[in-house]
Amino acid sequence: MSEFVSLTKALWGYFDKPLAELPEAVRQHAGMRLPGSGQRDNRAFVLIPWDSILPDQRRCVALQWDCNNDPANEQERRRAWNLQVKCSDLEREIAEVQAAGPMEISLVEKRDLLSQLQRDLASANQELAQVVGDAVAEPVYSSGAPGRPTSMGFVLEEFSRRCEEKTLADTVTKEADSLKSWLDITHEKAPPLTSKTIKNKISAKFRTAKAKC
């Protein structure tokens, strides 16, 4: 019987990449490769294609595949799955609070609640990384290794989500400051970015997004 290889570990650091950019070694994982003649199709992303979902959703699918296929360490796998669900729930709560208007919640309450939710999310993400494996957690926060996401990748993903949900700040300067605070809280171990760096990166897309509002 061949040794089980976690799909989550194999994909760690690549969840933000399109399918075509995944290394061949990753694409040949049992949870990714096409089945041979007479073999059962055990791919993780058949019903939910890789390129049609967000990085966090891809990680969720990979964890589910591990839960269904790893013959050992079931308790640890279930813990990882529960943490992933917790992270998703916290992200949804953060989005709901960010979208709440002044008639629903005061600015002070909104700021305090967002701060607490973001701390909870950072803690849950850190615990999830430890469960998945400390050895694979660090590449997520590398700042230059080929094929690995950088801090800016996290920021741009969050910025894109805010564009889609139309929750951008009034000015690009305020938005850059907000994204810097979000990065510092949610990904405290990631290489830091300045507001100016973020502003330079998002300025063009910010103008386009605000023009559509």
| Cβ-proximal residues to 184 (8 Å cutoff; 6+ apart), any chain | 192
Q: Which long-range contacts (CB under 8 A, 24 or more apart) does 14-23 make?
A: 14/147, 15/55, 15/56, 15/58, 15/59, 15/62, 16/55, 16/149, 16/153, 16/157, 17/147, 18/50, 18/51, 19/49, 19/50, 19/51, 21/147, 23/147
The tens digit of pLDDT for each residue in 172-184 reads: 999 999 898 888 8
* Residue entry with tokens 């970015």: 193
Structure tokens at 112: 């305090």
Average pLDDT for 147-151: 54
Asked if residues 117 and 93 have their Cβ atoms less than 8 Å apart, the reply is yes
Question: Is the pTM for the entire model greater than 0.75?
Answer: no
Is residue 140 predicted with pLDDT exceeding 70?
no
